[in-house]
């Protein structure tokens, strides 16, 4: 066994500065993007100021301006992967969170709220076209996750999934919140689950979206009510994992993984992985302890397994910048489900200090479990080329000495 570890980051981000997406947007929407860019940048700037993170972000970015261009410049990205010891990456939208997001609300905050469906699809496909080009630099190393506004038109989403497969994108990111649209236990989505299962496309839900207006005021971000709403950020960060896992709650109970047993789904950057066992315990309690739920009728005969069993078979956790205390709960959470991520190039991630993160987090850790969490689990889950990635890791991977006591 090599002295170097094969690392896969299940949470990296890439995206153009928003104005640079124009060549990738269908020409009939060029007038709209010209109008939308300034508005979207203004909204992001206001949100950054209200979150009181502008000064923090500016200070963090100042010494690494060139390295941050790795969000869209491949040569810089290649250097980042080598420095971080990452052999392969799963790539989501929003390169630098506040500045590099697809137009028309098609980034990490993908939501039907206040969206124009036609435009959001245009923004999503613009990003997907650009991402396809990025992935083409080394398809065995870069796993692109397309933005798919599934809620508006299932057939359009099916067609987009086929396009993604034909253009080298093997994952899709769906909205975590559906608002007034059908939730994910609705069988109307079955054609989409079916095409993803058939083509081996992995479903992803990424954290971030939540009902922001409930936390920060109905006119957020155009109106700053932080003085009147103390603790808004605390409430948001305490609930955001609920919104991240909620789609899987509906899919698990809805029998999606019963009907499509080869479908795979990931939740990414939950930040509080220690809550997973209690969430699954709740689902299984309602599945198993039927004496408490008999009066509610039959809501489980369409399932052949408990929710936790589907989760273990079909689902994974993108454990971005995961702390040691969560890793020490790996047996309760499910070792095979835990897949590390760096969150490059977001400031809450491990980059540009990933090498030190390895040492601080994995000192004295079980080496076999560590190999799985840092790369082995993701290689299996995503069907990556192990031999190819091992070859890369032989030159750039972190040393197995990170596990030394």
Fold assignment, 7-403: TIM Barrel (3.20.20)
φ/ψ of 93, rounded to 5, equals: -70, 180
pLDDT at 347 over 90: no
Our separate counts of H helices and E strands in the chain read 19, 8
pLDDT at 223: 87
Q: Are 398 and 340 in contact (CB under 8 A)?
A: no
Q: What is the largest CA-CA distance in the chain?
A: 62
Q: What is the C-alpha to C-alpha distance for residues 283 and 253, in angstroms, rounded to an integer? A: 9
Q: Which residues contact 390 (CB under 8 A, 6 or more apart)?
A: 2, 6, 87
Cis peptide upstream of residue 186 (ω within 30 degrees of 0): no
Which of 84-88, 220-224, 356-360 is least confident?
A: 220-224
Q: What is the separation of C-alpha 252 from the centre of its chain, rounded to a whole number of angstroms? A: 19
Q: Can you list the alpha helix ranges (DSSP code H) found in 136-225?
A: 154-166, 190-199, 212-216
pLDDT at 84 exceeding the cut of 80: yes
Domains of the chain, by residue range, sit at 7-403
Given the structure tokens 């890369």, which residue do they identify? 392
* Positions of E strands within 207-314: 265-268
> What is the structure's pLDDT at 296?
82
User: What is the average pLDDT score of the chain?
Assistant: 93
Nearest to 246 by CA among 217, 211, 216: 211
CB-CB contact of 69 with 82 (8 Å): no
Span 194-237, pLDDT tens digits: 999 999 999 999 999 999 999 999 988 888 888 899 999 999 99
Confidence of residue 60 (pLDDT cuts 50, 70, 90): confident
User: pLDDT tier at 256 (50, 70, 90 boundaries)?
Assistant: very high
Per-residue pLDDT band at 98 (split at 50, 70, 90): low
Instruction: Give the pLDDT confidence score for residue 51 in this predicted structure.
Output: 58
Looking at residue 50, its pLDDT comes to 61
Among candidate residues 107, 9, 112, 75, the one with its CA nearest the CA of residue 350: 9
Please say if the pLDDT value at position 52 is more than 60: no
Does the pTM of the predicted model rise above 0.85? yes
Helices 232-253 and 307-314, axial angle in degrees (round to 10): 90
């Amino acid at each position: 066994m090599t002295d170097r570890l094969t690392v896969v980051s299940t949470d990296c981000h890439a995206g153009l500065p928003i104005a640079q997406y124009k060549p990738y947007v269908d020409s009939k929407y060029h007038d709209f993007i010209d109008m939308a860019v300034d508005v979207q940048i203004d909204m992001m700037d206001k949100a950054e100021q209200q979150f009181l993170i502008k000064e923090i972000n500016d200070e963090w970015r100042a010494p690494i301006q060139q390295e941050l261009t790795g969000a869209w410049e491949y040569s810089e990205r290649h250097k980042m992967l080598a420095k971080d010891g990452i052999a392969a990456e799963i790539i989501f939208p929003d390169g630098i969170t506040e500045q590099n997001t697809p137009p028309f609300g098609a980034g990490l905050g993908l939501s039907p709220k206040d969206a124009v469906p036609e435009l959001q699809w245009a923004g999503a496909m613009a990003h997907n076209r650009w991402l396809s080009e990025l992935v083409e630099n080394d398809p065995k190393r870069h796993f692109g996750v397309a933005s798919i506004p599934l809620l508006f038109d299932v057939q359009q989403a099916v067609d987009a999934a086929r396009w993604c497969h034909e253009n080298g994108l093997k994952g899709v990111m769906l909205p975590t919140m559906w608002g007034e649209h059908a939730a994910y236990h609705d069988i109307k989505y079955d054609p989409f689950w079916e095409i993803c299962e058939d083509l081996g496309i992995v479903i992803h839900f990424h954290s971030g979206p939540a009902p922001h207006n409930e936390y920060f005021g109905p006119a957020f971000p155009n109106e700053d009510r932080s003085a009147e709403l103390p603790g808004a950020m605390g409430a948001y960060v305490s609930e955001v994992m609920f919104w991240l896992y909620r789609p899987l709650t509906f899919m698990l109970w809805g029998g999606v993984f019963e009907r499509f047993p080869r479908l795979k789904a990931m939740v990414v950057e939950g930040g509080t992985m220690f809550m997973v066992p209690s969430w699954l315990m709740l689902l299984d309690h309602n599945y198993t302890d039927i004496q408490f739920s008999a009066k509610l009728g039959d809501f489980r005969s369409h399932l052949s397994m408990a929710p936790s069993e589907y989760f273990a078979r079909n689902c994974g956790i993108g454990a971005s910048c995961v702390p040691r205390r969560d890793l020490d709960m790996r047996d309760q959470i499910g070792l095979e489900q835990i897949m590390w991520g760096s969150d490059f190039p977001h400031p809450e991630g491990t980059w540009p200090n990933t090498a030190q993160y390895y040492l601080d987090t994995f000192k004295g850790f079980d080496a076999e479990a560590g190999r799985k969490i840092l790369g082995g689990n993701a290689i299996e889950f995503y069907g990556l080329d192990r031999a190819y990635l091992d070859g890369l890791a032989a030159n750039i991977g972190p040393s197995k000495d990170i596990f030394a006591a």
